[in-house]
Structure 1
Amino acid sequence: MASPLMNESVWFNQQKFEKAEANYQQILAGTATPGQRTRSVQHVQQGKQGGSSLVNEIAQARQEISKLLKNPITGGGGSAPAGKMESLERENRELRKVTDELRAMVLKLENRVSALERGSGAPAASAAAAPAATKPSKPAADDDDDDDDFDMFGSDDEEEAAERERLQAERVAAYKAKKASKPALVAKSNIILEVKPWDDETNMKELEQKVREVSTDGLKWGSSKLVPVGYGINKLQIMCVVEDDKVGTDFLEEAITAYEDYVQSVDVVAFNKI
């Protein structure tokens, strides 16, 4: 069976609080004893010390927050994340590798330049040494002036010179013969002419025959066709191949327009080199 006191609130520290309230009233009234005042002062100081410790904790927390804001990478602990450190180490290794390669290239270029400089200096030295080597030969030539009248191998030299001239003449003649037998390149052009009649009553077949009757060295007529102009009038388009050195467009125009009964005008439609 439940106790009737379970549903009631009991204040076990009532005497302690009543005693503290009485001391506080005595202090206000000025009737408190020195021992009571000392205990009250101690309670107040303990409260102040507890408040100061709380203030110190708040100040430390503010300092930590400011450190985090100033250095978000390392944070308050002063150490960077592992991933960031690995990336920095990787970049350092790559930069060191590139630096080593550039250093090797520079050394290679320096060696090559020095080798080129040494090579360019060698011919100059040899060229300077050559005249010095030839100078002592002059006194020897002077010593042989007395023997110029006697040439033991003079006849042989003359025969060799004559043989060389003969071979050279034969080679020149063979080259000229080969060049003469080779056909010369002839410059040709493909020309398309437009021949216009006077009216629709002009016989275009007869007009084409007249045009083809124009002949000369270096002229060859090709295909032709009639192109309608309007009102029943057709014009003749005819192609020819000419040698540029022998036949020109002025000659063709003058020769064709000579047939005044059939031809009104002649125009050059196309002119292409072959």
Structure 2
Amino acid sequence: MSIILEKPTSPKGLTELNNYLADKSYIKLYTPTSADVLVFDEIKENPNATKYPHVARWYKHIAFFPVEVREKWEIVKDVKFAEEEEEEDSDLDLFGSDDEEDEEEKEKMRQEMEKLKAEKLKKMEEKEKKNKSRLVMDIAPYDDQTDLMGVIDPYVRSIKMEGLLWGSSALEDIAFGAKKLRITAVIVDALVSTYALEEAICEHDDIQSCDTVSFNKL
């Protein structure tokens, strides 16, 4: 099903995008795709978090990924801006013809292009699954009496996602005897969203915050 959005270059477009993202982490699917890059590139500066909180949250998350990582995200074709509909219809008119042989030839060309796109997409997906990064995350509790290694560390490790592998953990000083849990993980870039991972960790009642302090490609 196609998704048609207003360009987020005006208050109206940003408002509609904000409403659209109210219950979504990404423009399409449950992981970042080329659709997120398409919309992200239209927004030239950080959105006003007061007026457009959902857009600001999404924009900050997408901006976290380096350009070279965004370029490797899954390509989707069914997300477009409203004014593009008319342009695309005009392009399709160029192919209009009553000649049956021409139509057959065009259909063969379309099928061949679809086949090539599918093969390219499959290769990209296989390559993306090999791209990994190492995360270092700091987890701070509300109470300095919270058992970080006995309670919080096992809880964090209980979070399972495809492409996520937990590593070592240790306690780090904050101030005045308070400590935080520092834990490492290796993720498959195309499968794991750091934003979704941080949200899952912060669901625990004793966790005040979770921040990714290091993100390095492997």
Normalising by the smaller structure, the TM-score range is 0.3 to 0.5
Identify the structure with the greater strand proportion. Answer: 2
- Which TM-score applies when normalising by structure 2? 0.41
Query: Which structure has more RCO (C-alpha within 8 Å, separation ≥ 6)?
Result: 2
| Rg (Cα) greater in structure | 1
